[in-house]
Structure formats: C-alpha cells, structure tokens
Amino acid sequence: MSAVRDLNGHVGGKDKNNNTEAGTAEGGTQANPLDGVFQGMWGLGDLMQGFYGSTPGDDTAAGAIKNTFAANMIQSGFDTQMAQMMAYINQEIASAAMNQAADLEARNQAQVMQDEFDYGMQKMGAEYDYQSKFAVDEANRDLNADANRGDIQQNQTKLEGDIATDARAQQGVIDQDKIKTQGDQDRLNIDAQTQGDVTRIGAQGEADKANIGAQGDVDLSKIGLQGEVDKANINAQGEVDTGKILTQGEVDRGNITTQGDVDLSKIGAQGDVDKTNIETQGTVDVTKIGTQGIEDRANIAAQAVADESKIRTQGEVDRGNITTQGDVDVRKIGAQGTEDRSSITTQGDVDVSKIGAQGTEDRSSITTQGSVDVTKIGAQGAQDRQNIKTQSSEDREGMREANRLEAKTRANQSQYARGLAGMF
C-alpha cells in the first residue's frame, strides 16, 4: 500500500486493487472515511505525491517542468496575497472614508440643529420684545387719550358754568335796571297824578305796592327756577359725561384684554408651530442618518461578499490556468523551457510593476475621492448654514412687516373709535 496525502492534509493509501483506503489525519486523529473521494477520478492525489516526491537529478526537462510549476505556484500565491492585501487595504480606506463622512455629516447636522435652535430662540425673544413694547405703547396711548378726553370734558363743563354764571349776573343787572327804571317811571307817574288824582292816591298806592310785591315774587320765582334748571342741567350733563367716561374705559379695557389674549394665542401658536417644525426636522434627520447607516452597512457587506466571491473565482481560475499551463509546458518543455523561464521572469517583473502601479493609482484615486467627498460635505454644510441664515433674515423681515401692518391697523381702529366717541 502506498501512502497518499490528499488536498486536505489527510494521509491514506491504496491496496493492490488500486482502491483508496482512508488513513488517519496528521496528529493521530481518525480521518474522514469520505476523504478518499477527494482524489478524483484521475488519481490527483497520486499525481501530486509523485510530482512532489520526484527528484529530477540530471533530467533537465523534468527539472524545468518542476521549476516552471513552482514558479507558477509562487506567482499565483503572490498574486492571491497581493489581491487579498489590496482588497483589505481598499476596504479599510473605504471604511475610514465612510466613517469620516458619517462623522462630518453628524457634526454638520448637529451644528445645523443648534443654529436652528438659536435662531428660533432669538426669533421668539424678538417677537416677545416687539409685542411687549407695542402693548406698553398702546396702553400709554390709551391713557393719554383718556386724560385728554377728561381735560376736554372738564374744560367744557367749567366753560358752561362760567357762561351760566355770567348770564345770571347779566340778567340780575338787567332786572335791577328794569326795576330802577320802573320805579323812576312810577315816581314820575305818581308826581304827575298827584295834581289831579289826589283822591286816587291811596288806592293807586296800594295797587302799585301790590304790583311791585307781585312783580318781585315773580322775579324771585323766575330766578329760583332758573337756578334749579341750571343745576339740573349741570348734574345731568355730569352724569352723562361720567357714564361716557366709564363706558369708554370699559370698552378700552375690554379691547386691551382681547388684544392681549389674541397676542398670547398667536405667540403660543407660533411657538407650537416652531417646536413642531424643529421636532419634525430632527426626526427626519435622525431617520436619514439611520437609513444612510443601514445602506452603508449593506453596501459594505455586499462589497465584502463580492470581494470574497471574486477571490474564490480568481483562485479557481488560477488553479485551472496552472493545470492547463502545466499540460502545455509538458508538451513544449524541450525547446521552449529556456524561453518560458525567461518569459515568466519578465512577465513576473511586469506584473509586479503593474500591481505596484495599479496599487499606487488606486490609493491616489481613493485619496482624491476622499478629498472630493470631504470638500463636498464641507460645501454642503456651508450652503445649509447660509440657507438657514437667509431663512432667518426673511423670517425677521416678515415679522417686522407683520408688526408694522398690525400697528397700522390698530392705529386706524383707535382713530375710528375716537371718531365714534366724538360723534356721541
């Protein structure tokens, strides 16, 4: 029985009937009974054992074949190792670039979210300051308007009282002049009647005294009634003016309260909308980052599977090429041996140079691509921050325009209210 080592390192043998028997693996363990099937239908194990165990000696052709086989095996192993190393290096560089890109993206997103938060807080602070200043100015304007209305009403009441007093004083002077004139006329009449009406003096004097008394009572009654009417008019006018002032105050207070409620509702609604927008944007960004991470991991896994498949396929192709090349070399070994060795050596140098040049080119391409990606990410972050600043400026300009229009509307409403108050 001859010992045979298969491709998996197990040792077996063949009996006299050329049947392969399973042996024990190195290390003293029992070999798998099915290891014999790996010999193949052409006895590959025997061929390999015989080839490895042969000693060319002075047989130049056999030595050339064995050296050619060894050179091909060395070149294939070297190519496989270089391919694996390049695959691992490329994967490491790609992973580092993706990690750096993800880190930059996360930092940019964090900076964008921080800027949005700062701009939102500044916007809400500016809104509160504008609303508070407008409320204070509106209250001061209402107080000044109420004070002006009170001064006007007070001056009007005082003027009416002065006019009534002057009228009563003038009426008293007129009445006194009338009484004096009437007395003088009566005295002249009495003097004139004395000559012819001596007998009627007593009766006329009584009648005159009665008339004078009645006239005095009438005049006193008229003066008293006029005073009562004037006092009643003044009281009624004061009550009307007081009612108007109280009503106007209630209306103004109601307007201020309603406006304050509306302003508070607007500020609260605006704050809710801003908070919802920020939360929605944060959720979208987190989802995007998670989705990007999933895609990146899937791409890495797919790339690794593809690389492993390429390596396995390349190994199978190389092994097939080695076998085919060995057969061709066996047929051409006589005259072609020296030329093949020279060609193999030259080809090896060319392939090594090509592999080195290809590796240098690949690393340069990866470095350039990484620089381009980093530049693109930085430019995108700068553009996003510029967009946020522009949006914030437009929001502040819109707020200023809205506040100006609202102040103009309130001024028109206040002027309309003063016009209505003046009509009453």
Q: How far apart are CA 251 and CA 253, in angstroms?
A: 5
pLDDT of residue 30: 55
pLDDT of residue 104: 94
- CB atoms inside a 10 Å sphere around CB 186: 14
Q: What is the pLDDT of residues 324-340, one digit of tens each?
A: 777 766 676 666 666 76
Q: Which residue has tokens 């076998």? A: 323
Residue partners of 164: CB distance under 8 A and separation at least 6: 230, 234
Q: How far apart are CA 77 and CA 159, in angstroms?
A: 121
Per DSSP, the three-state class of 237 is helix
pTM higher than the cut 0.85: no
Q: Which residue has tokens 């980052």? A: 289
- pLDDT of 78 above 90: yes
Paired with 13 in beta bridges are 3, 21
Taking alpha carbons only, the member of 236, 251, 229, 242 closest to residue 153 is 242
Percent above pLDDT 70 for the chain: 81
Q: What is the pLDDT of residues 125-181, one digit of tens each?
A: 999 999 999 999 999 999 998 889 888 988 888 888 888 888 888 888 888 888 888
Taking alpha carbons only, the member of 29, 34, 56, 69 closest to residue 6 is 34
Paired with 143 in beta bridges are none
Q: Residue ranges per domain, the chain?
A: 1-53, 63-423
pLDDT band at 400 (very low <50, low <70, confident <90, very high): confident
Average pLDDT of the residues in 262-290: 78
In the chain, what is the straight-line distance between the N-terminal and C-terminal CA atoms, in Å?
134
* Alpha-carbon separation of residue 238 from 160, 234, 422 (angstroms): 11, 6, 17
